């Protein structure tokens, strides 16, 4: 076995077709490693391999066995690459045959990124039951809406049963209260049968606090760097090869064993890695090898607080090879254009003009000075197609990180909500929606945890309060540990039966339908767009085309009727949809303008025209 093969070990307990278990643990500084079978009162030694690995092949470990590892005779520990924690983060690991599931998606083909219309959801609050099985029952709703991909917030095992998911401590393990590994496999299978791709949110920049045992196995963390959420993961310090392999194999596992279509990698700017080959680039290379072998297509999407095309440029051009990234700046510009407050980092964004720049240039800050950062920020995103950028009017962060977790529906008018949806749809980027926005959900999405460590729970409470003290906001942040906070964040599916919410759903459905039907709307060509901004009138006109087909979107953020001139490239425009139409509970249709290319639009409205 050569050194490269030794470094490509899959950690944890895995079974082959004959039922034999291969057990691999990375513990480079250990003198002795044993596996302890809890239900059999049996201990088996692992043999030491190169590069810090310990391994055992045995038929004495079977699926369903509960086990611990014992390092140098110390206290028993869960497996760092456990696939199942039926008794929670502090309990023993369970051996499961992750490859035993019988898939039904053999004919499934992942859509092109340009055709992704993504819907973000949180398993615990998406349904009353908060499980994968309950989510399956709602897939027809998403299909009817026109969604082509769901994005599931992190599911790696965390303490208790309530968490956003970013406090996961076992990256390989699917949360037991959601339905575990088999429940997730069944959900992905069901999604594929209904034509839905599945994106999984994963966290490779930190590990949660409660139940985190990684440091007891080896140098998974480093003091070289800091993160806002805890110790930095060791991706470029001594013994980092085993740590890198742990996370690379985790990424590949989701594709191979769970048939996940794309990963959304959380806050990759907090992945500190000055290696000659960045961790993301290595994941890209290994994924390319897997896709060549499997014949399947998978994507890597990143969230990052950097306007740096190095992340999304191909490896052949010196990039890390990520397929797409979120653009928070589009959200920030859209938010202030809708009249919402401009405090904190929102202060950097000008209403209308910043949004118009994002439509055209993707990044608002592309090498220009940022007052909030007190420095020049970003680079120009030239040559990157629209399909590489994900845009939204709200998501879990920008709702849940507010003190009270108010959704957009509680911050702006019904008319403005429809305008914001249109603003996302008319962009040349990937449209993305947050669960419930399609029916104007009124419940908040608040920050919640269920730490069983009382000191940690109290620290989170105090931290949440102090976080908002600087904003001098009235009232108090909801208790993140309270079950009530979690329950208040659940979707109210019964709202769909009420008229105004049902109308909003039909409106979203129509917008998505138009996005799919109109080549000028679903084209990712960022060169085929013209944007005209009028800050005084608070309007933006977006002209997009593909071949001989044209669309023009008129965004009126003002509280007054506006008259605008449509682009002269088309002699006669035809209205496709107006959020102000009575059909959508709007203010109604205005009289035609005498000028053929001039139209009157209602306050806080989105109007879409087509022309040839």
Work out the widest C-alpha separation in the chain, in whole angstroms: 88
* Portion of the chain with pLDDT greater than 70, in percent: 97
pLDDT digit string, tens, across residues 230-269:
789 999 999 999 999 999 999 999 999 999 999 999 999 9
Structure tokens at 365: 């800050």
Q: How far apart are CA 168 and CA 163, in angstroms?
A: 9
pLDDT digit string, tens, across residues 584-594:
999 999 988 77
Q: Is 398 annotated as a binding residue?
A: yes
Write the CA distances from 164 to 66, 179, 514, integer angstroms: 27, 16, 33
Nearest one of 404, 402, 386 to 394, comparing CA atoms: 402
Q: How far apart are CA 138 and CA 133, in angstroms?
A: 9
Q: Is 278 annotated as a binding residue?
A: no
Q: How far apart are CA 165 and CA 124, in angstroms?
A: 10
Buried b (16+ CB within 10 A) or exposed e, 57-80: eeeebeeebbbbbbbeeeeebbbb
Nearest one of 250, 261, 588, 527 to 381, comparing CA atoms: 527
Beta strands in 110-269 (DSSP E): 118-121, 149-152, 156-157, 170-174, 197-202, 221-227, 230-233, 262-265
SS3 assignment, position 172: strand
pLDDT digit string, tens, across residues 13-70:
999 999 999 999 999 999 999 999 998 889 999 999 999 999 999 999 999 999 999 9
User: What 3 state SS string does 297-356 have?
Assistant: CCEEEECCCCCCCCCCCCHHHCCCCCCEEECHHHHHHHHHHCCCCCCHHHHHCCCCHHHH
Q: Is 345 exposed, middle or buried (0-12, 13-18, 19+ CB in 10 A)?
A: middle
Nearest one of 442, 307, 497 to 388, comparing CA atoms: 307
| pLDDT for the residue 4 | 53
| pLDDT for the residue 474 | 66
Query: To which residue do tokens 């085929």 refer?
Result: 528
| pLDDT for the residue 592 | 80
Cβ pair 199, 77 in contact under 8 A: no
Q: How far apart are CA 480 and CA 464, in angstroms?
A: 8
Q: Which of 79, 249, 282, 303 is the catalytic position?
A: 303
Mean pLDDT, range 443-466, rounded to an integer? 89
SS3 assignment, position 155: coil
Q: Is 402 annotated as a binding residue?
A: no
SS3 assignment, position 118: strand
Q: How far apart are CA 284 and CA 269, in angstroms?
A: 16
Q: Which of 241, 261, 266, 282 is the catalytic position?
A: 266
Nearest one of 425, 450, 362 to 161, comparing CA atoms: 450
Would you say residue 545 has pLDDT above 80? yes
Per DSSP, what are the bridge partners of residue 389?
325
pLDDT digit string, tens, across residues 77-111:
999 999 999 999 999 999 999 999 999 999 999 99
Mean pLDDT, range 398-415, rounded to an integer? 96
* Portion of the chain with pLDDT greater than 90, in percent: 90
Q: pTM of the entire structure? A: 0.97
Mean pLDDT, range 151-176, rounded to an integer? 97
Q: Is 259 annotated as a binding residue?
A: no
Would you say residue 1 has pLDDT above 50? no
Mean pLDDT, range 153-161, rounded to an integer? 97
Q: Is 266 annotated as catalytic?
A: yes
| pLDDT for the residue 41 | 86
Mean pLDDT, range 381-408, rounded to an integer? 96
Mean of the per-residue pLDDT values of the chain: 95
CA 495 to chain centre: 25
Q: Is 401 annotated as a binding residue?
A: yes
Q: How far apart are CA 374 and CA 376, in angstroms?
A: 7
Cβ pair 99, 256 in contact under 8 A: no
Structure tokens at 121: 């959801």
Q: How far apart are CA 3 and CA 582, in angstroms?
A: 69
Q: Is 303 annotated as catalytic?
A: yes
Q: Is 62 annotated as a binding residue?
A: no
Q: Is 329 annotated as a binding residue?
A: yes
Model confidence band, residue 344 (pLDDT cutoffs 50, 70, 90): confident
Domains in the chain, start-ordered, CATH in brackets? 3-94 (2.60.40.10), 525-611 (2.60.40.1180)
Those residues whose C-beta lies under 8 Å from the C-beta of residue 397, and which sit 6 or more positions away, are none
Cβ pair 301, 264 in contact under 8 A: yes
Would you say residue 473 has pLDDT above 80? no
Pairing of strands 230-233, 221-227: antiparallel
Structure tokens at 206: 């930190």
Question: E strand or H helix at 598, and its extent?
Answer: strand 598-601
Give me the helices (H) in 97-233, please. 123-126, 132-136, 139-145, 180-193
Q: How far apart are CA 172 and CA 175, in angstroms?
A: 10
Q: Is 267 annotated as a binding residue?
A: yes
């Amino acid at each position: 076995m050569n050194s490269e093969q030794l470094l490509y070990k899959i950690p944890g307990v895995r079974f082959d077709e004959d039922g034999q278990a291969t057990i691999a643990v990375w513990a480079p500084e250990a003198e002795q490693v044993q596996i302890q079978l809890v239900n059999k009162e049996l201990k088996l030694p692992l043999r030491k391999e190169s590069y810090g690995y310990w391994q055992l092949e045995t038929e004495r470990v079977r699926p369903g066995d509960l086990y611990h590892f014992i390092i140098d005779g110390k206290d028993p520990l869960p497996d760092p690459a456990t696939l199942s924690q039926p008794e929670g983060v502090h309990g023993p690991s369970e051996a499961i045959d992750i490859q035993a599931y019988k898939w039904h998606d053999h004919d499934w083909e992942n859509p092109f990124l340009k055709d992704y219309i993504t819907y973000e959801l949180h398993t615990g609050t998406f349904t009353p039951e908060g499980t994968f099985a309950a989510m399956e029952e709602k897939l027809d709703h998403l299909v009817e809406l026109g969604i082509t991909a769901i994005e599931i917030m992190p599911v790696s095992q965390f303490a208790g049963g309530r968490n956003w998911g970013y406090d996961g401590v076992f990256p390989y393990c699917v949360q037991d209260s959601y339905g575990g590994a088999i429940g997730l496999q069944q959900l992905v299978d069901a999604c594929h049968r209904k034509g839905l791709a599945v994106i999984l949110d994963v966290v490779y920049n930190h590990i949660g606090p409660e139940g985190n045992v990684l440091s007891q196995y080896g140098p998974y963390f480093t003091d070289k760097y800091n993160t806002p959420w805890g110790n930095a993961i060791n991706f470029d310090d001594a013994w980092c090869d085993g740590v890198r392999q742990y996370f690379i194999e985790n990424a590949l596992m989701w594709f191979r064993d769970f048939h996940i279509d794309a990963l959304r990698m959380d806050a990759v700017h907090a992945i500190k890695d000055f290696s000659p080959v960045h961790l993301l680039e290595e994941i890209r290379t290994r994924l390319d090898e897997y896709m060549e072998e499997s014949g399947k297509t998978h994507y890597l999407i990143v969230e990052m607080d950097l306007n740096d095309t190095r992340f999304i440029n191909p490896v052949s051009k010196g990039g890390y090879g990520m397929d797409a990234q979120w653009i928070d700046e589009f959200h920030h510009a859209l938010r202030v254009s809708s009249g919402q407050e401009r405090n904190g980092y929102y202060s950097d964004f000008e209403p209308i003009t910043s949004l118009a720049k994002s439509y055209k240039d993707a990044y608002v800050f592309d090498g220009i000075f940022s007052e909030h950062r007190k420095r020049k920020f970003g680079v120009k995103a030239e040559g990157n197609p629209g399909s590489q950028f994900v845009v939204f009017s709200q998501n879990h962060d920008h709702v849940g990180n507010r003190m009270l977790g108010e959704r957009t529906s509680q911050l702006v008018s019904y008319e403005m909500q429809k305008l914001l949806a249109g603003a996302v749809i008319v962009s040349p980027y990937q449209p993305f929606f947050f669960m419930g926005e399609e029916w104007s959900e009124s419940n908040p999405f608040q920050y919640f945890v269920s730490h069983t460590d009382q000191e940690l729970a109290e620290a989170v409470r105090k931290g949440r309060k102090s976080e908002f003290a600087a904003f001098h906001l009235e009232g108090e942040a909801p208790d993140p540990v309270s079950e009530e906070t979690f329950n208040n964040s659940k979707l109210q599916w019964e709202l769909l039966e009420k008229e105004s919410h049902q109308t909003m759903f039909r409106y979203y459905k129509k917008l998505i339908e138009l996005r799919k039907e109109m080549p000028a709307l679903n084209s990712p060509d960022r060169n085929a767009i013209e944007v005209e901004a009028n800050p005084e009138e608070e309007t933006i006109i977006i002209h997009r085309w593909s071949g001989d087909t044209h669309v023009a979107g008129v965004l009126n953020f003002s509280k007054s009727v506006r008259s605008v001139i449509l682009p002269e490239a088309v002699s006669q425009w035809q209205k496709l949809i107006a959020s102000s139409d009575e059909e959508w509970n709007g203010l109604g249709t205005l009289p035609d303008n005498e000028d053929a290319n001039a139209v009157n639009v209602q306050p806080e409205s989105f109007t879409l025209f087509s022309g040839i």
